[in-house]
Amino acid sequence: MREVRSILVVMEPDQAHGLALPRASQIASTTGSELHLLVCDKRDSHDQYLKRLADQLRDEGHTVSTRQEWLDKNYQTIIEAQQAEGCGLVIKEHQPETPLKRALLTPDDWKLLRFCPCPVLMVKTASSWSGGNVLAAVDVGNSDAEHLALHSSIVSCGYDLASLSNGALHVLSAHPSAMLSTVDPTYGLKETLEERYRDACRAFQSEYGIGDEQLHIVEGPADAIIPQVASQLQAVVTVIGSVARTGLSGVLMGNTAEVALDALDTDVLVLKPDDIVAHLEELAAHR
What per-residue confidence (pLDDT) applies to 282?
83
User: For residue 192, is pLDDT > 70?
Assistant: yes
User: For residue 188, is pLDDT > 50?
Assistant: no
Looking at the chain, the whole-number percentage of residues with pLDDT higher than 70 is 87
Q: Mean pLDDT in the chain?
A: 87
What per-residue confidence (pLDDT) applies to 16?
65
Q: Any idea which of 189-193, 206-210, 254-258 has the lowest mean pLDDT?
A: 189-193
What per-residue confidence (pLDDT) applies to 95?
83
Helical pair 256-263 and 108-115, crossing angle rounded to 10 deg: 140
User: For residue 153, is pLDDT > 90?
Assistant: yes
Determine the residue type at 282.
E
Instruction: Report the C-alpha gap between 199 and 181 in whole angstroms.
Output: 17
As a whole number, mean pLDDT of residues 13-21 equals 85
Pairing of strands 133-137, 120-123: unpaired
Note if the pTM is more than 0.75.
yes
What per-residue confidence (pLDDT) applies to 105?
64
User: For residue 176, is pLDDT > 50?
Assistant: yes
pLDDT in tens, 238-278: 999 986 544 433 344 446 777 788 899 999 999 988 877 88
What per-residue confidence (pLDDT) applies to 251?
40
Q: Any idea which of 79-93, 118-132, 188-202, 232-246 has the lowest mean pLDDT?
A: 188-202
What per-residue confidence (pLDDT) applies to 208?
94
User: For residue 169, is pLDDT > 70?
Assistant: yes
Instruction: Report the C-alpha gap between 205 and 39 in whole angstroms.
Output: 41
What per-residue confidence (pLDDT) applies to 262?
86
As a whole number, mean pLDDT of residues 56-76 equals 95
Strands (E), the chain: 6-11, 34-40, 64-69, 89-93, 120-123, 133-137, 168-175, 215-219, 235-241, 244-247, 250-253, 267-271
Do the beta carbons of residue 41 and residue 68 sit within 8 Å? yes
What per-residue confidence (pLDDT) applies to 187?
45
What per-residue confidence (pLDDT) applies to 144?
80
Q: In order of start, what are the domains of the chain with their CATH numbers?
A: 6-93 (3.40.50.620), 133-285 (3.40.50.12370)
The 8-class DSSP code of residue 118 comes to S
User: For residue 145, is pLDDT > 90?
Assistant: no
Strands (E), 114-265: 120-123, 133-137, 168-175, 215-219, 235-241, 244-247, 250-253
User: For residue 186, is pLDDT > 60?
Assistant: no
